[in-house]
């Protein structure tokens, strides 16, 4: 609990992510895990035919660490 009392010391983005995570229910997490497993299996099937995937990247420099 002491760490949560210090959440104001964090950046808005990170603090928001923590608050969002703490609001999740067991059902929310289970649903997300099922979806994650489904996506993993789809990627695994794709890599049975391909050795690598090339994708575009975001054309922006990294954000300052303070924003996270």
Q: Per-residue pLDDT for 60 more than 90?
A: no
pLDDT band at 58 (very low <50, low <70, confident <90, very high): confident
Give how far the C-alpha of residue 4 lies from the chain's centroid of Cα atoms, to the nearest Å.
20
Predicted structure pTM score: 0.64
Residues 6+ apart with CB under 8 A from 15: 7, 8
**Where do the structural domains in the chain lie, given as residue ranges?**
2-50
At 25-49, the pLDDT tens digits run: 999 999 999 999 999 999 999 999 9
Q: Per-residue pLDDT for 2 more than 80?
A: no
What was the pLDDT predicted at 23? 96
d(CA 16, CA 22): 10
pLDDT band at 19 (very low <50, low <70, confident <90, very high): very high
d(CA 19, CA 12): 10
| C-alpha triplet 52, 55, 57: angle, nearest 5° | 140
């Amino acid at each position: 609990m002491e760490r949560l009392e210090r959440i104001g010391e964090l950046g808005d983005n990170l603090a928001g992510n923590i608050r969002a995570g703490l609001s999740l229910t067991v059902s929310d997490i289970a649903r997300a895990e099922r979806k994650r497993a489904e996506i993993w299996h789809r990627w695994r099937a794709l890599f049975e035919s391909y050795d690598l995937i090339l994708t575009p990247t975001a054309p922006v420099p990294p954000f300052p660490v303070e924003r996270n």
